[in-house]
Chains A and B, each alone.
Chain A
Amino acid sequence: MDNYLASGNIKDSDHFYFNLGFELLNGCQFNCKGCHVNKEGAEPFSDEMYEQLMSIMGSFSAKNSYKPFIAFINPTDFLSADNIIQVLSDPRVVKVLNHFKRLSFQTTYLNISKAEAVGEVLREHYSNMELEFNILIEPDKVDNIKYLNTLQVNQDKVHEIINWPTKIRRFGIMNVFDYNSTKIAELIKDYDYLHKRVQHLFETTIDFNFSLGRKDSKLSSDEFYKAANDIKTMFNDSIVTEEKSEYLRFSFGRLNDSLIEKQYNWKNGVFYYSPLLYERYISFIPDLEIPIAEYTSEEFEAFEEKIQLEQYLNAGKMDECEQCPLLGSCVDRGILYLMDIHDITKCLVAKNAMHVVNGMGALPHGSN
């Protein structure tokens, strides 16, 4: 299994990675369970946005010890989005995105009728970049052979149509929602089972996407905790042996996953902090907004330093964080910040799985 490329230790690195999620796409014909994307929320790309983003890209550069790595083209299925061609062929967007090494898209592969046109625009404007296609799989359909076959066939067809000179990376995503509401709840909650059903469709593991963070207002404490705790339970129950730890990229498993990789989201001219809770947490609530005026990396760094210190100083208020050896990693991921803004003191992290994955010795029985 490949490791996430941007993972690394400070001592082995000479720069930070800079990832940015762009809310650019509008329109999607699907209604996937657990999806809370505002399908028409992206405002038209303006000259002002362009100037601001170019300033940001100039600052997140080698001179300031950054390498732009992945541009996530969000939020809808790119093969289904109404404005995909318009966005990707906009010369201003082309210029901004070409600062990155890789473009990342997500798709259900359920409608691939635009694949030819998308391929053309990608080859014309982004031919020097890597591509990453994240396949969004509906967890309650993993026993549906016809559905899985469609994904497989369409994925192969799209890759053939896009005809990219370098290998297109493939990752798998499932939305987090109340799996008890499905007919196969017990199966879905078994990570091993899920993984084996769909592992042929992508390279590594399933990333669990907390799309519910995209709701217009901040989640209630109970709503947020339940979603995080369901995934925590699944990982702890399913993945607590070293043999199984080979599955784990899960955007989360390694202690250093967020040490040198910095990720933010951009929506309609505003930048947002993006914590890493099993998968990058995308939300546009004011608590996550990064206050900037000059559009420089220094303003992002000031925000990072502020919430880093806040999280460490708040560790004592949390139920388990202060004495936990995973604390540093959770701070890097912004997990204590998420806990704090949602008034949660209980641990959100699958500690048993983390200990196994990171070779830290199994926790005593009864720990979670």
Chain B
Amino acid sequence: MIIREAIVPLPIDQIKEYFNDKSITFEIDYAKSKLKDTVFLTYLSNLDVPSDIKLSKDFDIEDTYKLIDAYMNISSISKIPFLEMIVAHILLRAVAVDTDEVLFNPFLTNEQVDKYIETRQDQVAKWVHFIDSTPLYLIYMFKGLNEVLEVENNFNVIDEAQYTGYNIVNMFNIPGFYNLYMTSCTSTTPMSFFKPQFTEYMFKGKSFFEYFNNKNNHSISMLSLAIEDKIPVDPKEIFGDIANG
């Protein structure tokens, strides 16, 4: 992989260089970039080339928060590891996971994360609500199981494509995040069936499955094996009396 330092918008010459060498990843200097916040992310999402953000820790914290706001609210998808890790930090703190043990040298301090959560409670709560509800999607994926549980009929249905920003799908491909979140979190948010997110091809023309099922999230394959009795786990032990909400 070749790293190319850049600002956005990318000069045409750098795009041409990428034409000829697809191993290039652009490391975007956010502070020097001419575009900021939502417009910055929209540009990167539209360009859709491998990229990450470079940001100094002394960058203004309020401007950093604005960038995170944009990432969590935008209705497009940008694959930016730097922001994924910050949001993972926020979500884990929001559900009371001790992040000191799992995040090494995070960009934001715990105090900065806590302040973010405190000042954006509704936004963070929506992300937590969605992730907390993903076991319903897991069940929904298994026809036989869902014929019994009928999650779309037995849970609160949210029919709002823009309930959270679309970058939420990136969370499920962060190594260790989903497992840690689901096994450690103390959230008590009631699960909901997110109708457009779970049933439509709304994420850049792909279904949620394309993002949820990946090498860093084994929940679908584990449940599949359990259902086929290939591992000694009864799905009912995992989900309990889930049909009753």
Question: Would you call B74 an interface residue if the criterion is a C-beta within 8 Å of the partner chain's C-beta atoms?
Answer: yes
Contacts of A286 in B (CB 8 A): none
- Is B46's CB under 8 angstroms from A259's CB? yes
Q: Does B192 contact A (CB under 8 A)?
A: no
Assess whether A304 is interfacial by the CB under 8 Å rule.
yes
The interface size bin for chain A is 35 or more
Chain B residues closer than 8 Å to A10, beta-carbon distance = 15, 18-19, 47-49
Cα distance A14–B45 in the bound complex, in angstroms: 19
Within 8 A of A (CB), among B5-43: 9, 11-12, 15-16, 18-20, 22, 34-35, 38-39, 42-43
Residue of A nearest to B46 (CB): A328
Complex: chain A residue closest to B22, CB-CB:
A11
Q: Is B211 an interface residue (CB 8 A)?
A: no
B39 touches A312 (CB 8 A): yes
Q: Are A329 and B46 in contact (CB-based, < 8 A)?
A: yes
Number of B residues near A (Cβ < 8 Å) is: 37
* Cβ–Cβ contact B39 & A315, under 8 A: yes
Stretch of A42-50, A75-83, A100-108, A360-368 lying at the B interface:
A360-368
Q: Please name all residues of chain A whose beta carbon is closer than 8 Å to the beta carbon of B202 when the two chains form the complex.
A: 359-362
Beta-carbon contact of A360 and B204 below 8 Å: yes
Q: Bound complex: CA of A316 vs CA of B162, how far in Å? A: 21
Please, which residues of chain B bring their CB within 8 A of the CB of A116? none
Contact partners of B75 in chain A: CB under 8 A: 325, 360-361
Residues on the B chain within 8 Å of A15, using CB:
19
Residue of B nearest to A13 (CB): B19
Residues of A within 8 A of B39 (CB): 312, 315-316, 322, 327
Chain A CB within 8 A of B160 CB: yes
Interface string of A62-82 (1 = CB under 8 A from B): 001100000000000000000
> Quick one: which of B62-101 are within 8 Å of A by CB?
74-76
- The distance from the CB of A24 to the nearest CB of chain B, in whole angstroms, is 29
Q: How far is the CA of A316 from the CA of B36 in the complex (A)?
A: 11
With contact pairs A65-B16, A359-B204, A361-B200 given, residues A9 and B48 touching in the complex (Cβ less than 8 Å): yes
Using Cβ atoms and an 8 Å threshold, which residues of chain B touch A117? none
With beta carbons under 8 angstroms apart, the residue of B9, B16, B35, B76 that contacts A305 is: B9
**What residues of A have a CB within 8 angstroms of the CB of B160 in the complex?**
364
Residue in B closest to A315 when the chains form the complex, CB atoms: B39
CA distance A270 to B74 in the complex (A): 40
In the assembled complex, the CB of B168 is this many whole angstroms from the nearest CB of chain A, namely: 12
User: With an 8 A cutoff between CB atoms, is A345 at the interface?
Assistant: no
B98 to chain A, nearest CB (A): 35
B8's nearest neighbour on chain A, judged by CB, is A312
A11 touches B204 (CB 8 A): no
Cross-chain contact A328 with B43 (CB below 8 angstroms):
yes
B interface residues (Cβ-Cβ under 8 A, vs A): 9, 11-12, 15-16, 18-20, 22, 34-35, 38-39, 42-43, 45-50, 74-76, 160-162, 166, 196-197, 200-206
A-B contact pairs, 7 of them (CB 8 A): A11-B49, A312-B9, A328-B43, A328-B45, A360-B166, A360-B204, A361-B200
